[in-house]
């Protein structure tokens, strides 16, 4: 880019850099957003298709979860990355509805292009979209139905709706009840922390219907010595966050042993060190030791002699979960351990043979942490189940915290779209065109549901609109192709999922619409160097010899 000043040309932007302006920039950005939207659109709903994602080393992921698909893709276009961020935000705040949010964002931009083509300025569209987003959220809230956290039937329905359409929907009733029980088990007076209080571990090689919920913690660990007890009732648990070993000195040190007596004294001193540590644990009353660091063999020997169940290298998040479940304090100085630092559990036992067994810590009084053991035939199956359960857990959490649901099957979107069109007429001006375009974008969700189920989307939308006046909760039953009452059918969604999708998608769309100039710096490669001077060709840490220069 250049300008004239005093007859002299001034270069402001390097002409070798790529620049896209005006209508071309807007069209390019909208195309990128629409491309991302089209990738995930076919996964929406109970009849949605799955995607196979293959990474650089050949590992595959089979899923129809929008957030997972976009996270695993190597997306480089800046606007496409903004749409991916919509999915991340949706996943973080609402836990589900990522595909809907991305479809909505892409359709909002596509509809905006149609308005720009007929002469509506992007600033007017942005203003109309913001008005429409505020009104849409208000309409969703008005359409919502209040429920109580004690209504397990509704909670099961919300979890099953989330699971339906995924590969595990045949086990929907069973898995949804596990999700509801897990969330209710950790429910406190405030918000529900699923990330910290619900531990999900996988156990492939079994049947899906063998998935279980343990009110406590299950570790992929086993007792360290065969002669240790495999079952401890009325367990007193010590959580130790320090190694039970001799440790290493900060500086190099040597021990000079000049005779057999010196050797015996050294060994006795070492044994005394370990014995004192274990004696402190025994004195506290602990009969289970879970250590986040290493436990040396001499310490294991003394633990075994005192009939203490022990395992090591327990992960930090697992230590915290055990602490919440049992009431144990995490100890960093073994010699200061006391009885009131210990946690309690009705039973600690190893199930399964060593090297493949698991440590169960259960029958915990008022456990604030629970574990879901996901079982399936293969690792791919258990991975898919875990992703599905994560979504279901989060929508149940939303309903318990918010106390509201909305009918699914596109019923709430149709109601809000109708409300927006009525609102547009009251606004007037060109903004009403943007509000109507926003309403059309919201209907893209039920359209995608119908298309993915093999039905004509236009016919279904018209049918839903026509029946909505007499049947407020009218939505599409994708299994029968009929327009039915979604609330009676038990097809319900979380209100938070719907409102957050509106917020995320509308904000992303307005950000893109405000861009009229895209400046991209060219990628420059490193300067060529001689092969022998390339660091990757060095042998060890020695640099290549250079020729002598006079």
Burial (CB < 10 A; 0-12, 13-18, 19+), residue 244, is buried
Burial (CB < 10 A; 0-12, 13-18, 19+), residue 27, is middle
Strand boundaries in 119-207, DSSP class E: 145-146, 198-204
Estimate to the nearest angstrom the gap between the alpha carbon of 274 and the chain centroid.
43
How far CA 176 is from CA of 50, 211, 390, in Å, comes to 21, 11, 11
Estimate to the nearest angstrom the gap between the alpha carbon of 150 and the chain centroid.
26
Token pair recorded at residue 455? 């039905």
Q: Are 388 and 171 in contact (CB under 8 A)?
A: no
Could you tell me which of 167, 173, 214, 193 has the C-alpha nearest to residue 373? 214
Rounded to whole angstroms, the Cα distance separating 100 from 140 reads: 15
Q: Which residues contact 73 (CB under 8 A, 6 or more apart)?
A: 39, 53, 84
Rounded to whole angstroms, the Cα distance separating 72 from 383 reads: 14
Active-site residue numbers?
65, 98-99, 391
Rounded to whole angstroms, the Cα distance separating 402 from 410 reads: 21
Read off φ and ψ for residue 232, nearest 5 degrees. Answer: -125, 115
How many Cα atoms sit within 13 Å of 203 on the Cβ side?
24
8-state DSSP, 245: S
Token pair recorded at residue 465? 């609109």
């Amino acid at each position: 880019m250049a300008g004239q000043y005093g007859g002299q040309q001034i270069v402001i932007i390097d002409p070798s850099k790529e620049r896209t302006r005006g209508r071309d920039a807007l069209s390019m950005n909208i195309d990128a957003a629409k491309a991302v939207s089209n990738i995930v659109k076919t996964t929406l709903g109970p009849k949605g298709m799955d995607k196979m994602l293959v990474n650089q080393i050949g590992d595959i992921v089979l899923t129809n979860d929008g957030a997972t698909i976009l996270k695993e893709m190597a997306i480089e276009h800046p606007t496409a990355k903004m749409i991916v961020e919509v999915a991340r935000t949706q996943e973080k705040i609402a836990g589900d509805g990522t595909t809907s949010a991305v479809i909505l964002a892409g359709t909002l931009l596509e509809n905006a292009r149609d308005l720009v083509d007929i002469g509506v300025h992007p600033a007017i569209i942005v203003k109309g979209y913001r008005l429409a987003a505020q009104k849409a959220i208000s309409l969703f809230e008005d359409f919502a139905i209040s429920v109580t956290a004690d209504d397990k039937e509704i909670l099961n329905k919300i979890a099953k709706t989330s699971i339906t359409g995924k590969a595990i929907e045949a086990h929907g009733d069973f898995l949804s009840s596990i999700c509801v029980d897990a969330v209710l088990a950790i429910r406190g007076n405030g918000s529900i922390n699923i990330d910290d209080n619900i531990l999900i571990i996988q156990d492939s090689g079994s049947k899906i219907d063998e998935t279980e919920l343990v009110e406590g913690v299950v570790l992929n660990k086993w007792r360290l010595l065969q002669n240790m007890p495999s079952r401890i009732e009325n367990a007193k648990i010590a959580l130790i966050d320090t190694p039970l070993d001799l440790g290493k000195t900060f500086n190099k040190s040597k021990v000079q042993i000049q005779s057999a007596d010196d050797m015996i004294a050294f060994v006795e001193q070492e044994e005394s060190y370990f014995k004192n540590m274990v004696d402190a644990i025994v004195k506290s009353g602990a009969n289970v030791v879970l250590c986040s660091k290493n436990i040396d063999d001499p310490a294991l020997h003394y633990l075994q002699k005192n009939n203490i169940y022990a395992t090591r290298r327990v992960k930090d998040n697992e230590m915290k979960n055990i602490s919440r479940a049992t009431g144990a304090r995490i100890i960093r100085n073994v010699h200061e351990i006391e009885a009131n630092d210990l946690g309690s559990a009705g039973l600690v036992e190893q199930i399964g043979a060593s090297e493949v067994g698991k440590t169960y810590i259960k029958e915990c009084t008022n456990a604030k942490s629970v574990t879901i053991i996901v079982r399936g035939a293969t690792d791919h199956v258990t991975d898919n189940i875990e992703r599905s359960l994560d979504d279901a857990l989060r929508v149940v959490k939303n309903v318990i915290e918010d106390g509201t649901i909305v009918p699914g099957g596109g019923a709430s979107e149709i109601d809000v779209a109708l409300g927006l069109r009525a609102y547009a007429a009251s606004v007037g001006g060109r903004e009403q065109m943007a509000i109507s375009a926003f309403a059309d974008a919201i209907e893209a969700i039920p359209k995608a549901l119908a298309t993915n189920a093999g039905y004509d989307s236009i016919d279904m939308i018209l049918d839903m609109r026509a029946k909505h006046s007499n049947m407020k909760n009218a939505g599409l039953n994708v299994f029968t192709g009929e327009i039915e009452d979604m609330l009676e059918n038990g097809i319900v969604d979380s209100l938070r999922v719907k409102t957050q999708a509106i917020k995320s998608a509308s904000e992303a769309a307005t950000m893109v619409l405000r861009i009229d100039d895209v400046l991209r710096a060219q990628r420059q490669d490193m300067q060529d160097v001689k092969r022998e001077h390339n660091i990757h060709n060095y042998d060890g840490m020695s640099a290549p010899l250079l020729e002598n220069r006079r």
